[in-house]
A and B are shown apart, each in its own frame.
Chain A
Amino acid sequence: MSSSNRLPRLLLVALAAPASLFFAVLYLWPVVSLLARTLTLDSMRAAMHDSALRHVVWFTAWQALLSTAFTVVLGLGPAYLLARYEFTGRRLITALVTVPFVLPTVVAGAAFLALLPDSLDQSVTAIVLAHVFFNIAVVVRGVGGLWQQLPTDLTGAARTLGASPLRTMREITLPLLAPAIYASASIVFLFTFTSFGVVRLLGGPAHATLEVEIWQRATRLGDVSVAAVLSVAQLLLLGLTVAWFAHLQSRQRRGLQLQPASQRQRPRTSRQRSLVALTSAAIVVTVAAPLIALIERSLRTTDGHSLAAWRGVFGASTDQPARPTTGVLVDPLASLATSFRFAVMATAISLVIGATASLAIAALGRRGRVLDIALMLPLGTSAVTIGFGLLVAFDSGRLDWRASPLMIPLGHALVATPIVVRVVLPVLRSVDAVLRDAASTLGASPVRAWREIEIRLIARPLATAAGFAMAISLGEFGATSFLTRQGRETLPIAIERLLNSPASLLHAQGYVLATVLAALTFVIVAAIETTSNRVDRRA
């Protein structure tokens, strides 16, 4: 934006305020409170001299890099397919790709484990495969979102100038997709660097990430002090990496003449048709197989298969009057309602905060980067640190919100907001500056031009972001596990408890709920796919 066309300072402040306040109260203050209470010089010294910890840091970093690289490379194919081609079932497949990303790892991880060949059990290969499986949606949707707005004629121009398809990809498409690729990569890196469930489930005791180590120290060994040191170390490492990604991303920003996403084509040639069919089939099989394993698990008994667990969840509880003393771990159906309620609240909160934050970050230019990185921090902070921090921060007098029912959706919003920003920001940053200046020269005030162009442009990414936010809330486990109260269990919490039950019937009920969660996620994401398409058509 040229300097004469700046937005008024007051508007900028108003835009940045909700996110800044949200971040300060729900993240900064809790984490600082916890660190102030637990960090000591001794624990820092102890952590520094622990060679086992150095091993953990090293492992955490390289498995995350490897996982991110594989996820990005393997995600580009489906991203291209879903962005460029229109075919029956495209929306369903987009939704299907998203399901693993939102399922709690406790759930899908177990299903993944069931399908994994024994030779890969407890190996790094298993960890990386699972990370790709869980995070590929970030790349497919993040990169695909920009890809479908990239004019096809641009690559056509390169082709007529003599560039082969591969060369066009390397010289034109990838550089122009770079902002979205870096944005997606930084999210995937965050998730894989802080991986917890996958590593415990598939990596076994020999492979611990920092996140696992922090959890072990804080909850198993009661060593919150060293855990705090590790938490800071984790944050610093991630902060550096994310800042680097953000730097790459902002260096790559350029004015693209984006087109509304209406240029998807039906595959015409037999080669295109088989490409679409093969990729779709691969996606369906990869995602469906673990989900089918989930269903199979929900039907298992010690000596065969039965619908007992499904009857237990959905049938009348009067089935078992003979054992009135038997306990209830959790009310499965109530957890469904609870999860849904929290998801709606968390989505609303994170959309409002994420959208205003994105507009502020885009308008603030270089200064916006601080807010951008700040909002990403919760993703890079261990759930234990945030959970314990909230506990410590909100424990006194009038601020004793520890048991407030709002804490859970707020916690979810903390995790979902950075995703909203990551989805919206690349689109905002790619807005043609010329477009805005053109609007100004036509007599629109800076505010008017901004309203006409930016606000309209974020409709589509916001719809996508809403899907992500809702799904993240539905599947969130880490932060929730520290904030849950009896009677307010979300689905993932209920699932985790049931899976840990010593009774195999209740264990199977955990898989019943997991199946329900997967189906629910799929339905929501598919519904959002449909609405976001409607937004397209209106635009």
Chain B
Amino acid sequence: MLEVRELTMRFEQRVLFTQASLTVADGEIVALLGPSGSGKSTLLKVIAGLLDPDEGRILLGNVDITTVPTHRRDIGMVFQNEQLFPHRTVAQNIEFGLRMRRWNSQRRAERVTELLELIGMSGFERRRVTDLSGGEAKRVALARTLAPSPRIVLLDEPLTGLDRELHDQLARDLHQLLRTTATTALVVTHDRDEAAVLATRVVAFADLTPRLPLAEAGDLR
């Protein structure tokens, strides 16, 4: 279970969110809905440990991880624009997290095959990631994050930049994938429909914080 307790984040004089609180139960897929630039991505990065909060605590399975460095949190994250490693092949990208966890090469290869099958991209092992289409790249990014089976997966606008048809298709696939792997996930999106398809529960970003300027809060509803 992920618990975010009263996180406050200021950024160069601007307050992004104050005392934001949120709980994600095991097995849940929560979609966090809010307009672009409202600080949703920042919240994900704080949870992942890529940014330090000004105030507040983060707990994972009742353990306070606020000061634990990112690489020891066992939290996976799918970034906007995928952020695949351009100097590595598809297989090397997917097995990256497994290498960090010292899996041997045979187990890694098996896991990569398994995941490629899961995302419908069998046989793509040796392909260069720079040669992938937009949809393929997104699926590889997801497989890379899921490979080490992290305790929770954070997804930052995972489906932006795709055309409508592909988008809807992938949204359904993604939901299915998260359910079959029984992954706990927190998805950030600005798209109400996407949130509905992906998540088991939808939360408005504005509702996380007790005091938000009225105008902005109004925009959300």
Q: Answer whether A and B touch in the complex at a CB cut-off of 8 Å.
A: yes
* Residues 254-277 of chain A, each 1 if its beta carbon lies under 8 Å from chain B, else 0: 111100000000101100000000
**Once bound together, how far apart are the Cα atoms of A164 and B49, in whole Å?**
12
Q: Is the CB of A269 within 8 A of B52?
A: yes
- Chain B residues 67 to 84 lying within 8 A of chain A, measured CB to CB, are 69-77, 79-81, 83
Is B182 an interface residue, CB under 8 A from the partner? Answer: no
Is A455 an interface residue, CB under 8 A from the partner? Answer: no
Which residues of chain A are near B150, meaning CB under 8 Å?
160
Q: Is the CB of B97 within 8 A of A162?
A: yes
Is A352 an interface residue, CB under 8 A from the partner? Answer: no
Which residues of chain A are near B210, meaning CB under 8 Å?
none
**Once bound together, how far apart are the Cα atoms of A254 and B86, in whole Å?**
7
Which residues of chain B are near A176, meaning CB under 8 Å?
86-87
Q: Is the CB of A255 within 8 A of B86?
A: yes
Is A151 an interface residue, CB under 8 A from the partner? Answer: yes
**Once bound together, how far apart are the Cα atoms of A259 and B117, in whole Å?**
33
Q: Is the CB of B12 within 8 A of A163?
A: no
Q: Is the CB of A156 within 8 A of B45?
A: yes
- Chain B residues 32 to 89 lying within 8 A of chain A, measured CB to CB, are 45, 48-52, 69-77, 79-81, 83, 85-87
* Residues 129-168 of chain B, each 1 if its beta carbon lies under 8 Å from chain A, else 0: 0100000000000001100101000100000000000000
Which residues of chain B are near A41, meaning CB under 8 Å?
none
**Once bound together, how far apart are the Cα atoms of A432 and B79, in whole Å?**
19
Is B124 an interface residue, CB under 8 A from the partner? Answer: no
Q: Is the CB of B71 within 8 A of A151?
A: no
Q: Is the CB of A156 within 8 A of B81?
A: no
Q: Is the CB of A163 within 8 A of B45?
A: no
Which residues of chain A are near B71, meaning CB under 8 Å?
159-165, 167
* Residues 190-227 of chain A, each 1 if its beta carbon lies under 8 Å from chain B, else 0: 00000000000000000000000000000000000000
From B72, B76, B80, B86, residue with most partner A Cβ within 10 Å = B86
Is A157 an interface residue, CB under 8 A from the partner? Answer: yes
**Once bound together, how far apart are the Cα atoms of A175 and B52, in whole Å?**
27
A409 CB to nearest B CB, Å:
41
Is B221 an interface residue, CB under 8 A from the partner? Answer: no
Place the interface of chain B in its size category.
20 to 34
Considering the complex, give the chain B residue whose CB is closest to the CB of A164: B71
**Once bound together, how far apart are the Cα atoms of A461 and B217, in whole Å?**
43
* Residues 1-41 of chain B, each 1 if its beta carbon lies under 8 Å from chain A, else 0: 00000000000100000000000000000000000000000
**Once bound together, how far apart are the Cα atoms of A254 and B73, in whole Å?**
31
Is A158 an interface residue, CB under 8 A from the partner? Answer: yes
Which residues of chain B are near A432, meaning CB under 8 Å?
130
Which residues of chain B are near A151, meaning CB under 8 Å?
81, 83
Which residues of chain B are near A457, meaning CB under 8 Å?
none
Considering the complex, give the chain A residue whose CB is closest to the CB of B79: A153
Is A370 an interface residue, CB under 8 A from the partner? Answer: no
Which residues of chain A are near B69, meaning CB under 8 Å?
164-165
Q: Is the CB of B48 within 8 A of A161?
A: no
Q: Is the CB of B100 within 8 A of A162?
A: yes
B7 CB to nearest A CB, Å:
14
**Once bound together, how far apart are the Cα atoms of A434 and B131, in whole Å?**
8
Which residues of chain A are near B126, meaning CB under 8 Å?
none
Is A69 an interface residue, CB under 8 A from the partner? Answer: no
Known A162-B101, A164-B71; contact A154-B83, beta-carbon cutoff 8 A: yes
Q: Is the CB of A160 within 8 A of B70?
A: yes
Instruction: Tell me how many residues of A have a C-beta within 8 Å of chain B.
Output: 29
**Once bound together, how far apart are the Cα atoms of A123 and B51, in whole Å?**
47
Which residues of chain A are near B87, meaning CB under 8 Å?
175-176, 252, 254
**Once bound together, how far apart are the Cα atoms of A256 and B130, in whole Å?**
9
Is A308 an interface residue, CB under 8 A from the partner? Answer: no
Which residues of chain A are near B144, meaning CB under 8 Å?
157, 161
A250 CB to nearest B CB, Å:
14
Which residues of chain B are near A157, meaning CB under 8 Å?
77, 79, 83, 85, 144
Q: Is the CB of A254 within 8 A of B130?
A: yes
Q: Specify which of A159, A175, A257, A434 is in contact with B70 (CB 8 Å cutoff).
A: A159
Considering the complex, give the chain A residue whose CB is closest to the CB of B130: A255
Known A153-B80, A157-B77, A434-B130; contact A163-B85, beta-carbon cutoff 8 A: no
Q: Is the CB of B50 within 8 A of A156?
A: yes
Considering the complex, give the chain A residue whose CB is closest to the CB of B156: A153
Which residues of chain B are near A164, meaning CB under 8 Å?
69, 71
Q: Is the CB of B83 within 8 A of A256?
A: no
Q: Is the CB of B80 within 8 A of A161?
A: no
* Residues 286-297 of chain A, each 1 if its beta carbon lies under 8 Å from chain B, else 0: 000000000000
Is A12 an interface residue, CB under 8 A from the partner? Answer: no
Q: Specify which of A160, A167, A172, A266 is in contact with B85 (CB 8 Å cutoff).
A: A172
Q: Is the CB of A161 within 8 A of B83?
A: no
Q: Is the CB of A160 within 8 A of B77?
A: yes
Q: Is the CB of A161 within 8 A of B148?
A: yes
Is A459 an interface residue, CB under 8 A from the partner? Answer: no
* Residues 139-173 of chain A, each 1 if its beta carbon lies under 8 Å from chain B, else 0: 00000000000010110111111111101000110
A116 CB to nearest B CB, Å:
41
Is A433 an interface residue, CB under 8 A from the partner? Answer: yes
Considering the complex, give the chain A residue whose CB is closest to the CB of B94: A161
B99 CB to nearest A CB, Å:
9
Q: Is the CB of B130 within 8 A of A163?
A: no
Considering the complex, give the chain B residue whose CB is closest to the CB of A434: B130
Known A257-B81, A433-B130; contact A161-B45, beta-carbon cutoff 8 A: no
Which residues of chain B are near A269, meaning CB under 8 Å?
52
Q: Is the CB of A256 within 8 A of B86?
A: yes
**Once bound together, how far apart are the Cα atoms of A255 and B84, in whole Å?**
11
- Chain A residues 353 to 382 lying within 8 A of chain B, measured CB to CB, are none
Which residues of chain A are near B148, meaning CB under 8 Å?
161-162
Considering the complex, give the chain A residue whose CB is closest to the CB of B75: A160
Q: Is the CB of A153 within 8 A of B75?
A: no
A228 CB to nearest B CB, Å:
44
Which residues of chain A are near B50, meaning CB under 8 Å?
156, 159-160
Query: Can you spell out 22 A-B residue pairs with CB atoms less than 8 angstroms apart?
Result: A153-B83, A154-B83, A156-B45, A156-B70, A156-B77, A157-B79, A157-B85, A158-B85, A159-B50, A160-B48, A160-B76, A161-B71, A161-B100, A161-B148, A162-B100, A162-B101, A165-B69, A252-B87, A254-B87, A256-B86, A257-B86, A434-B130
The 4 A-B pairs with the shortest beta carbon distances in the complex, nearest first, are: A162-B100, A161-B97, A159-B70, A160-B77
Please list the residues of chain B having a beta carbon within 8 angstroms of any beta carbon in chain A: 12, 45, 48-52, 69-77, 79-81, 83, 85-87, 96-97, 100-101, 130, 144-145, 148, 150, 154
